[in-house]
Amino acid sequence: MRTQTKPDVLVVDDEQRLRDVLVRGVVQMGFACDGAGSGEEALRMMRDRPRGVLVIDLNLPGIQGMDLFEQVRRGWPATQVIVLTGFGDLDTAQQAIRLDVVDFLTKPTHLGELEQSLSRAWQRIDTATPPEETVRIPRAMTAGDDAEPDDEAADVTADMLDEDALPAGASLEEMERHHILQTLARHDGNRRATADALGISLRTLYYRLTRYQEDGML
């Protein structure tokens, strides 16, 4: 069960107006929340009092957002991170996958979307590795775990590997999803091999695939 105490949140964005709006919005959602205008300030605040969730803008002065994410992951591995960004590149998406990002939110983000992401982060803080039996993944996505790929799996693999499936100017969220599904397809649906290839835990892969299914992306 989810605990009743919501995690403290730190919004890291150098745009003061947006930062203030987000902090007020998060407080109205029932979370304790502060703001930091740089990665350096965020690290000082984390050392003083660690927060359970960070909302990080990727474009920061000084320490860049992904560098901050790396340092947070090393220093406070249980802290959940939500990334604020517009568009990015595949390398950034791959790095965020490896660091186990909760969500990518496009700036300017709607507070309703941020609230959903904070709810997911809160759930992840209180939830251990999800039981495999509760994660419902289509048959074509799982055939490679315990069996030889069948015709259905091969058809889905061909679709996933279609390079045209990723539109020009795709968001980091779209890049992340495409990269994960491509990797899964290359490993014939074998989730453990896919997680190893991505450099993430099996739990993280389950989380991602379940999210895609819940959001109608599978």
pLDDT in tens, 68-96: 999 999 999 999 999 988 666 678 888 88
Long-range contacts of 28-34 (CB under 8 A, 24+ apart): 29/111, 29/115, 29/118, 30/6, 31/6, 31/7, 31/118, 32/6, 32/8, 33/8, 33/9, 34/8, 34/9, 34/10
Q: Where in the chain is the domain with CATH 3.40.50.2300?
A: 9-126
Better-predicted residue by pLDDT, 212 or 135: 212
Measured from the Cβ of residue 163, the count of other Cβ atoms closer than 10 Å reads 7
Measured from the Cβ of residue 123, the count of other Cβ atoms closer than 10 Å reads 13
Q: For residue 39, give Cα distances in angstroms to 55, 59, 116, 143, 152.
A: 11, 10, 24, 43, 47
Better-predicted residue by pLDDT, 86 or 28: 28
**Sequence-distant (≥ 6) Cβ neighbours of residue 81 within 8 angstroms:** 53, 54, 55, 56, 69, 72, 73, 99, 100, 101, 102
pLDDT surpasses 80 at 170: no
CB 106 within 8 A of CB 80: no
Average pLDDT, the chain: 79
Output DSSP code: residue 188: T
User: Does the reported pTM lie above 0.75?
Assistant: no
9-126 has which CATH code?
3.40.50.2300
